[in-house]
Chain A
């Protein structure tokens, strides 16, 4: 049983997905989805422990040995990612039940299909992380993308439909670019296994085909992770999707795409080829900085708070890419640590917003006047998430900002470090707009009650995790560092 954990990680949600379509609407189907995601969280924890103690786990799918069969390969980096995705997946599904029952554009008898799409999305994301086969990444990418288009289109606003369509077009272009890239790699090396690719690419790395493959993969994955200026699908998709879907996608989908990018850059092509021969950092650094700055400024002028946080996500992705472009253990540690911390903070913020829109209908600034007085617990979680987003000390967000600034100073790039601090202030401005409206405007005249416990408990779980991991950093800094060393090839 314990040997099969890497496969079970993907297989359990994959089997639960069609099963949940057979259920009647109600608590049973939610229980099934909850059990499936809870089990994958448990497996992720076990895998991480096993990897930290014994090193890399290699699992031959169907017992076909590695370069011929599909290999699932778990090292510190993807065990860490598995934990993030399955953790958020579980917390959000706990949150989703009440929203799905009352606030989603689905007739009641079709509600179980929500869980089918959700679990398929989870399967896809977990699969992309755990697999050691380049083509398998594409397949799982499409599983997660197709189901996320469906999930986004379930929003109550009709603009959710156009947002989903837009994402479908952009996402498919990105995925097709990835497909071309993988095809070109196969032409040159005759293999799809990541380790095998890494061993064979140096012999042919001077060819134009490999360079073209590198370019296609970079652009394709950047579209999926919403790197500025390829982020145009993201704000609408996040703004109009149902709140559990936004919380889930914002906390996991773009993170997994960043992980895939790291895998391709560092493991398959190697840091030497990616950053010394192709000089990718020269493109990533300015794009990351412009992305952080422009998205933060745009966020300040949004009146829909969900959209504001969506732009803030684009900025946060910039911080992660900035960490990559430093090409050092510290820089990469900040990226991986921020993957984890950002999942916590954006999960908290979007779930708190979900609580608010559950009670008042929409998350626009003018309707949120005074909600801080009538929904103190919800706004309390929002403030904690916000502080973490800014990077206040004692919150999770501080840890990754700290490493990012440290990494920039290590390279002697103090203007970059200064910009990171400056743009954190921009985050203060847009979050302050929300806090001001919620606490200092008179309370709404209509009676508004605090959100139900079923929504508050998952929201506060993540909010408290923000505080916990701000003080206990062995996971989001210690393990992240180990993962960064693995990716850079410093440690096995």
Chain B
């Protein structure tokens, strides 16, 4: 039961590995970025899970003594990381656009071929 109870951590691990695999295995620069995004997003789930308390509510002060709050800090932290993720993705895509202008392709092996020809 414990294994099932930790299902959000399992989702984190599976997503992380999927993303990581896509980054490494794909030769298309945009697909690599998609993989990188999945990889980063999985970490968001990790952080959000660890701040959540079962039955916990939003961390707003109300005058009831027995209210349980979720921990807001991991959520705030991951907001920062989400912003970083957006910046990384947009910068990555901008680079891909420029690479496409310079090489006429966004396939890694074709770019590599062109570089090899140039250096000969």
Contact = CB atoms under 8 A, between A and B. Distances in A.
- Top 3 A-B residue pairs of the complex, sorted by shortest distance between their CB atoms: A158-B102, A142-B84, A165-B95
B81 A179 contact: yes
Contacts of B73: 186
Interface string B8-27: 00000000000010010000
Given A146-B87, A158-B103, A172-B88, A180 B23 contact: no
A162 interface: yes
A186 B103 CA distance: 44
A374 to B, nearest CB: 27
Given A139-B80, A187-B50, A168 B95 contact: yes
A183 interface: yes
Contacts of B92: 165, 168-169
A187 B73 CA distance: 11
Contact of A165 (B43, B81, B96): B96
B23 A173 contact: yes
A150 interface: yes
A169 B37 CA distance: 10
Interface in A442-476: none
Interface residues of B, number: 29
20 contacts: A138-B81, A139-B80, A149-B91, A150-B91, A158-B103, A164-B95, A165-B95, A168-B92, A169-B23, A169-B32, A169-B92, A173-B20, A173-B23, A176-B43, A179-B81, A180-B46, A183-B43, A183-B47, A183-B50, A186-B50
Given A158-B103, A183-B46, A172 B96 contact: no
Interface in B66-103: 73-74, 77, 80-81, 84, 87-88, 91-92, 95-96, 98-99, 102-103
A239 B64 CA distance: 63
A169 B36 contact: yes
A159 interface: yes
B88 A179 contact: no
A153 B36 contact: no
A92 interface: no
Interface residues of A, number: 25
A165 B91 CA distance: 9
The A contact surface, by secondary structure, is helix
A172 B32 contact: no
A114 interface: no
Contacts of B96: 165
B46 to A, nearest CB: 6
Given A149-B95, A161-B98, A168 B50 contact: no
Contacts of A350: none
> Chain B CB within 10 Å — which of A172, A186, A187 has the most?
A172
B88 A168 contact: yes
A142 B77 CA distance: 14
A161 B88 contact: no
A135 interface: yes
B59 to A, nearest CB: 14
B85 to A, nearest CB: 8
A165 B100 CA distance: 12
B81 A146 contact: no
Interface string A165-181: 10011001101100110
Q: Which of B39, B84, B103 has the most CB of A within 10 A?
A: B84
Contacts of A175: 84
Given A161-B99, A168-B92, 8 more contacts: A138-B81, A158-B102, A165-B99, A168-B88, A169-B36, A169-B92, A173-B36, A186-B50
A146 B39 contact: no
Nearest to A138: B81
B37 to A, nearest CB: 10
B109 interface: no
A86 B40 CA distance: 31
Contacts of B88: 142, 146, 168, 172
Contacts of B40: 172, 176
A105 B97 CA distance: 16
A294 B81 CA distance: 36
A180 B99 contact: no
B39 A173 contact: yes
A187 B47 CA distance: 9
Given A180-B46, A183-B74, A172 B36 contact: yes
B5 to A, nearest CB: 16
A179 B42 CA distance: 11
A138 B111 CA distance: 32
Nearest to B102: A158
A173 B50 CA distance: 21
Contact of B115 (A150, A159, A169): A159
A173 B32 CA distance: 12
Nearest to A141: B84
Contacts of B95: 149, 153, 161, 164-165, 168
Contacts of B46: 180, 183
